[in-house]
Structure 1
Amino acid sequence: MNAFQVHDIATAPAGSADILKSVQDAWSFVPNLHRILAESPAALEAYATLWTIAEKTSFTPVERNVAYLSIIYENECVYCMAGHTNLSRMAKVDDAAINAVRDGRPIADAKLEALRRFAAQVTRQRGVVSPSDVDAFKAAGYDNRAMLDVLVLAATKLISNYTNHLADTPLDAFMKGAEWKAPGKLKAVA
């Protein structure tokens, strides 16, 4: 679509090379998303910083991954859905829950379903949710902190999902078997 360079540490702008090196050290490879974000040191730093901050939210790893998948579903990002499907498996998210979110269906676990619905509503409605949406989220055991923590996850995915839309980021090898076809609700405006 748009000719974005898929950088490596040697070709990345100076402000991005150190971040790519730290990703390489942490993950043993550099995902294509990071390699494309490297074109803008500010965008790469923003994403890397938000990713780190997201780990500090009130959510467990399972909850964090369910929320990420829900946000990704709403944003229809095929790259992130494939990646986060496998990251969710690594975080011990139940396959039935992963498949439900990937298919746009409810999750059997009531608390995770409340999180899925709220994260989806926040993303779809750009943060404009009804009092009944908030009440349902809180009734499941979440609080105001969790509502704001959903925003941290949504901001993180905004950068990655939108980058992948703009760049048509190629899937990484570790995503094999987790490919996904988006529902197709989002269409570019001519």
Structure 2
Amino acid sequence: MNGSFGWHASSEAGSEPLRRPTLTINGFELLDTATAPAGSSELLDGVKKAWGFVPNLNRVLAVSPAALEAYATLWGIAEKTSFTPQERNIAYLAIIYENECTYCMAGHTNLSKMAKVADADIYAIREGRELDDPKLEALRSFAAKLTRNRGFVGEADVTAFKAAGYTNQSALDLLVLAATKLISNYTNHLADTPTDDFMKGVEWVAPGHLKADA
């Protein structure tokens, strides 16, 4: 994902330079508060105030005010689920792994570190390995199966998830996280969103890509 950043300027003789948004490899605009539709610019401004910059994912989503609002809303709701910050990030990583989103895996690697998820757990999920902690492994495994099987899991899977200390609420809360990542992961697949500077050093190659290159 090597789309360029910033803005292209072009002008005709005697005219002011015209700023046009850079495109991703797949032709999606990377917008900012100055170029986004009215319904998106305020949301982008909020993202910038919260993060200090606007991630390229949000810049792509800004093309559709509805998509950007949906993602921002779900992101906020996800933080109200029954999971601890560590559990939420482990579930996110497991979902991202199954969806093979290189952009989100890089981003959530750093977000997971900020949430104090152990490096050993982060890199185990990135590499498709089980976690040492039984409860966290039950969460990782169940989140992965829900995503991989589009919600179709067996009675034994649900029983094992509950035996680890989770509940029906936990299972439904996982769907909130899965819905949040569906928007971001699929957007990044569709647009081929370029990674952000803060992701340098934690880039990820999805297992499916490895198989395709074999």
**In structure 1, C-alpha distance between the alignment counterparts of 2:188 and 2:65, rounded to whole Å:** 16
Asked if structure 2 preserves the Cα contact closer than 8 Å seen for 1:76 and 1:186, the reply is no
Gaps of 5+ in 2: 1-24
**Is 2:99 the partner of 1:70?**
no
Deviations 1:2-46 (A, max 9, x none): 200000110101100000000001111000000000000000000
TM-score by length of 1: 0.97
Task: Select which of 146, 151, 154 maps to 2:170.
Answer: 146
Kept in 2, the 8 Å contact 1:65–1:84? The answer is yes
> 1:137-160 deviations in whole A, cap 9, x for unaligned?
000000000000000000000000
Gaps of 5+ in 1: none
1:187 offset after TM fit, Å?
9.7
Picking from 108, 111, 118, the partner of 1:87 is 111
The equivalent position to 2:185 in structure 1, one of 161, 165, 169, is: 161
In the alignment, structure 1 residue 173 sits paired with structure 2 residue 172: no
Please say if residues 61 and 91 of structure 1, whose CA atoms lie closer than 8 Å, have aligned partners that are also in contact: yes
Give the match for residue 59 of structure 2.
Answer: 35
More helix by share: 1
- Mapping of residues 1-190 of structure 1, within 5 Å: 1-184=25-208
**Aligned-residue offset at 1:166:** 0.4
Larger gyration radius, structure 1 or structure 2: 2
- The residue type equivalent to 1:19 in the other structure is L
Deviation (angstroms), 1:76: 0.1
Give how far 1:115 is off. Answer: 0.3
Deviation at 1:185, TM superposition (A): 6.6
Q: TM-score, normalised by structure 2?
A: 0.86
Q: Number of matched residues? A: 188
Q: For 1:87 and 1:15, how far apart are their aligned partners in 2?
A: 27
Deviation at 1:66, TM superposition (A): 0.1
Percent identical residues: 73
Q: Deviations over 1:86-113 (max 9, x none)?
A: 0000000000000000000000011000
CA RMSD of aligned residues (A): 1.4
